[in-house]
Amino acid sequence: MVKKVDHIGIAVKDLGETLKFYEEVLGIKSINTEIVEEQRVKVAFLPIGDTEIELLESTEEGGPISKFIEKRGEGIQHIAYRVDNIEKVIEEIKAKGIRMIDEKPRYGAGG
C-alpha cells in the first residue's frame, strides 16, 4: 500500500525566518518555493534524503494553515505517503472507518 513517506508538511508563521533556520543551522536549502492559490498557502520544499520537508505559510488570515496555527501552533500539519493508486487507497481507508479530510485527491504544491 504505502511505498514511502513523500513529504512532511510543517505549518509555520514566517516562511522566510524558517528557511533561514533550515539553511543556516541545519544546512538544508530550499529547492522550490511556490504559492498555491487554491489552498491560500506559500510553500517551500527542502530535500532530506529521498523525502522532503514542506514548509507551509498562510497567504491570508483565515486560510487553512492560519487556522491550523491558531488552534495548534506551528508544527507538523500533515504527512504525505507515496502510493501506487491514491483513489484505491482512499476507498480502502474509508472502508476501514478512517475519517478523511478530503475524499478525493487534489493537486497541491509540487503537483
Burial class (CB in 10 A: 0-12, 13-18, 19+), 12: buried
Look-up: residue for cell 514511502?
4
Take residue 30 and report the three cell numbers written for it: 530550499
Sign for the CA dihedral angle at 76, 44, 53, 105 comes to positive
Q: Domain residue spans in the chain?
A: 8-82
Residue 70 main-chain phi, psi, to 5 deg: -60, -40
SS3 54: strand
- CATH of 8-82, picked from 3.30.1360.120, 3.10.180.10, 1.10.150.20, 3.40.1380.10, is 3.10.180.10
Q: What is the pLDDT along the chain (111 residues), one digit of tens a residue?
A: 789 999 999 999 999 999 999 999 999 999 989 999 988 999 999 999 999 999 999 999 999 999 999 999 999 999 999 999 999 999 999 999 998 877 777 766 765
